[in-house]
Amino acid sequence: QKEVEQDPGPLSVPEGAIVSLNCTYSNSAFQYFMWYRQYSRKGPELLMYTYSSGNKEDGRFTAQVDKSSKYISLFIRDSQPSDSATYLCAIGDSNYQLIWGAGTKLIIKP
C-alpha cells in the first residue's frame, strides 16, 4: 500500500462545475498537507497549505483535511477551462519529508 493514494484520473467536468479532488494517506504521523497545481511542462505551483483538520478557503479553492479518516480534499468552485491541469497532493511528516500523490489530471470542458 502506498503511503499516499491519489486517483490519477483523468477527471473531466463541464465548466462551472464544482470539482472534488482527493487523497488518502496511511500514516497518522503526517502533519501538514499541501495541494499543488501543475500545468504541462511547468513546475508545480502551490495552491493550498494547512496543518490542521478542517477547511481552509482561498478564493474558489477550499482545502479540507480529516485527520481521523486520513483523507484530504481540494474543492474548486466555478471551475474554469484554465483550471485544467494536474493536481498533486503532498503530505509532510514530522521530519519534514514530503510524500507525493500520483497527481490527478483535471479537464474542464468549455
Partner 1 sequence: GAVVSQHPSWVICKSGTSVKIECRSLDFQATTMFWYRQFPKQSLMLMATSNEGSKATYEQGVEKDKFLINHASLTLSTLTVTSAHPEDSSFYICSANLGPSNQPQHFGDGTRLSIL
Q: Which of 93, 91, 55 is nearest to 74 (CA)?
A: 55
Q: Which of 14, 43, 59, 110 binds partner 1 (CB under 8 A)?
A: 43
Phi-psi region of 99 (alpha: psi -120 to 50; beta: other; left: phi over 0): beta
Report how many residues bind partner 1 under the rule CB under 8 A.
22
Q: Considering only 13-21, 58-66, 77-85, 90-98, which stretch makes contact with partner 1 by CB under 8 A?
A: 90-98
Among 19, 21, 23, 34, binds partner 1 (CB under 8 A): 34
Please give the Cα distance from 61 to 78 (Å, whole number). Answer: 10
- Contact 72/64 with Cβ under 8 angstroms? yes
Residues near partner 1 (CB under 8 A):
8, 31-32, 34, 36, 41-46, 49, 88, 90, 92, 96, 98, 100-103, 105
